[in-house]
Amino acid sequence: MSEDATTMGKPVFSPFNIAAGVILLVGGVLTILRFTFGFDAVTNLSDYNPWGIWISFDLLCGVALAAGGFVTSAAVYLFGMKQYRVAVRPAILTGFLGYALVVIALHYDVGRPWRLPYPFLVRQGTTSLLFEVAACVALYLTVLFIEFSPAALEWLGLKRARSIVVKLTLLLTILGVVLSTLHQSSLGALFLLAPSKLHPLWYTPYLPIYFFVTAVIAGLSMVIFESTMAHRFFFHKMDEAHLAEKDVLPLGFGKAAAFVLAGYFIVKVIGISTGNNWHYLATGYGIWYLVELLGFVALPAFLYAVGVRDKNITLIRWTAAWSVLGIIVNRFNVCLVAFNWHLPTSERYFPHWMEIGISVFIVTLGVLIYRFIVTRMPVLYEHPDYDAH
């Protein structure tokens, strides 16, 4: 279907376009303020709270929610689940955009963003966890770019280049899994450096494992969520193969998510037992911890299982959205809510509205880029001039 046909009759000044335009305009102004007047003009960050919403949401949540790329490609190319092959490109695109936006967001958070390449080019901090995270994220972003490039190359008609990249699919998938395992777990390991600042219910030697397992949960749930949104708003761009996976993907990924969530719940309980932190559950922080554990781990595990058993696709899709929210709650808890928990309320961090505005600006930018790509490149359909891979 031609682009003209798909856009015919759609007003330029639709509510979505107007809202997106306003967000981009405000975000542009806030960006100028950030890089002109520094942190003090747009943030509530301080020496006590150097990591705010730009780290908790833009980085920690962004990296976790972009895990669908390596989860889906591993399922198809390493575990032979070919029935999910049509979900690979959308998942890789979402992952690539997620990581690219994480890098963009880091430029806002780093005091001197022009020095981001410094650890790689000038002085390598090979003993630093942050260096390992940075190196893996940079490498994996490169891997995602190459993995997604066949769609762009098909759009540009570069058959030879596309053929070369397709032959690297298995190697790229293995690299993606290795790099993702390293940096997803290392993000959790960063908080092991702050035992006196993170609340005992959230501080545990298992944090690297928690972060990796929740990234897998986020990847599975985000692929279901992204597929739901794509079928809702871009169904006219889909071919028969993509339309047919509308129910197959939620059932398969929902079943996997149910098992992973159940395992994660067990490991979380073991973590409380190992630290002998049961008495904290009777406190205010303990109640909130139980909300996270029962409401965002046990509940979606149960709902996923029921949805798969009853083949209730609607329930699975709503559970996926709830699970995505649960990952965001978890990252916020570790990085913001339970961090510096001993400080008085007056010294606790709460994001400035401009910080939130910049985060909304970055997310909106990602949605617009995603829409631009899927309406032009063969992401939700197979290009007729190329064999499927």
Q: Give residue 189's pLDDT.
A: 92
CA distances from 192 to 140, 206, 286, 292 (A): 24, 9, 20, 20
Residues 6+ positions from 27 with CB-CB distance below 8 Å: 357, 358, 360, 361, 362, 364, 365
Tell me how crowded residue 375 is: count the other CB atoms within 10 A of its CB.
15
The pLDDT of residue 94: 94
pLDDT at 371 over 70: yes
- For residue 327, pLDDT beyond 70: yes
What is the overall mean pLDDT for the chain?
90
Model pLDDT for residues 282-297, shown as the tens digit of each residue: 999 999 999 999 999 9
pLDDT band at 388 (very low <50, low <70, confident <90, very high): low
**3-state SS track over 357-368:** HHHHHHHHHHHH
pLDDT of residue 30: 96
Assign 339 to helix, strand or coil.
Answer: strand
The share of the chain scoring above pLDDT 90, in percent, equals 69
pLDDT at residue 218 is higher than 50: yes
What is residue 7's predicted lDDT score, i.e. its pLDDT?
47
Predicted confidence band at 1 (pLDDT cuts at 50, 70, 90)?
A: very low
pLDDT at 389 over 60: no
Indicate if the pLDDT at residue 8 is higher than 50.
no
Q: Is the pLDDT reported for residue 5 higher than 60? A: no
Q: Which of 108, 57, 56, 52 is nearest to 351 (CA)?
A: 52
Residue 211 and residue 178: Cα distance in Å, rounded? 15
Fold of 17-374: Formate dehydrogenase/DMSO reductase fold (1.20.1630)
Categorize the per-residue pLDDT at 10 as very low, low, confident or very high, splitting at 50, 70 and 90. Answer: low
Query: Band of the pLDDT at 125, cuts 50, 70, 90?
Result: low
* Distances, alpha carbon 41 to alpha carbons 27, 34, 77, 137, 268, in Å: 14, 7, 48, 29, 40
CA pair distance 308, 331, nearest whole angstrom: 27
